[in-house]
Structure 1
Amino acid sequence: MKTLIIEDEALAADSLEAQIKDLRPGTEVLGKIGSVEEAVEWFGENLPPDLLFCDIHLSDGSCFEIFKQVDVKCPVIFTTAYNEYAIEAFKVNSVDYLLKPVKKDELAFAIMKYEDHKSGSLDGEMENLKELLRHFPASTGNKKKSRFMVKSGQTIKAINGEAVAYFLAEEGVVLLVTFEGKRYIINYTLDQLEELVDEEMFFRVNRQLIANIGSIKEVHPYFKGRLHLTLEPGVAGEQIISSSKASSFKAWLDL
């Protein structure tokens, strides 16, 4: 079986690949793609896989934009962190969906479902998909992430955005730090995270830090119009907001 994984979270893609190969050791993963643009390019240059695993919310928009631009001639198993109403339509079709974090037993069932149908016609499946597209919003590219996939030992787990105190760039990696003080390496840059997080909840403090409003314990005036922050949980080093950002930060705090 040849598969393609379209998933913008590297840890989630790696975890999915490992589970697929554990269930079907002979599987060949043709690629792991993280954006609509890359996927459209890939399908334009390659023969379709036997089976496509596709996240719904990608780094540059909704995966449904792929299907509007490319005639995808293979069955699809969708993965998503969002249990939206439209996804329910997939339950009665041989095109399946899995909620993140993907559970191995549900993945096994979805693959068996594909295998049961692979010898038959896929025309009905693709017509169901096209019907769904007509009712799905044109683009969900502005959807903010409500959870983040992190690795804890050998386990992949989901952290809800509300549980994140801040994102911190430290010693060449970016850390997700929870209000409980737990630290996880996350596979995003702060620039990427700035676009993905809810701007009402998070603020880009400086080049090293994006903070949740709930993590800000104290704000003090600093030299030359700057601001000094104290965070909870604490973070090493001084966290300073520049004079150019001070007014927007105060407006964000509703001061």
Structure 2
Amino acid sequence: MQIIIIEDENLAADRLLGLVQQYDPAIRIQAILSSVEKAILWLKQNPMPDLAFMDIQLSDGLCFEIFETVSVTCPIIFTTSYEQYALEAFGVTSVAYLLKPVKYGQLVNSFQKLEIMKQTFSKGLAPVTESGIHSIEAHFKSRFLVKNGLHIRAIKCEEIAYFYSEDKVSFLVSFNKQKFPVDYSLEEIETTLNPDIFFRISRKYIVHVDAIQEIRPYFKGRLSVAVSPAGEEDIIVSADRTPSFKAWLDR
């Protein structure tokens, strides 16, 4: 596989390069490009790579300017410190939208998702059999191991109402009102869940669709969401997340 990295922060580029090489040393990094201008020039002069990692805010503008000049047909994994560009990112050939600092588990999941997409589309779009559906969903996590006193148990994802973070610790809350700490950040958890069922509703919460009980308008375009079991605080959906949250609910 041949990859380019479009990133204007040297430390972030070096970190991403290290993670990619850790995942598969055989992957070839063709170029590390630090600006919109350099990315456009390289893409015009070279064959399309197999994959591009792309930061959104570059030294001379937003990466979306690249698409206005060059037809980018390869899959893209976006890496950024900002959440507000997610909808625009998924308007192009994106595979994943990762928030910095990128974790190794997130990168692995993104590569697995890319491979599943390649296998799926190489077989054509129809017919989609039941076995085909299972193969597409196979990369999503089905359960989480938690500590229950001196014991360890597995909680199935369909039993989980929501995940939340508090004081840098992540917890899952089950529909039967049990709470357990989990050994993952919300960023890592988000990449392992089926996005048809779970949604990152805020920086602190990832919710199961069946846990949502009531949605009320809040100030300045935001939403207040009531979940069951009830949390210890109001869950507020930011104005930036509101459109994608509504679209997710309206599938």
Using the size of structure 2 for normalisation, the TM-score is 0.47
Rg (Cα) greater in structure = 1
Relative contact order higher in (CA < 8 Å, ≥ 6 apart): 1
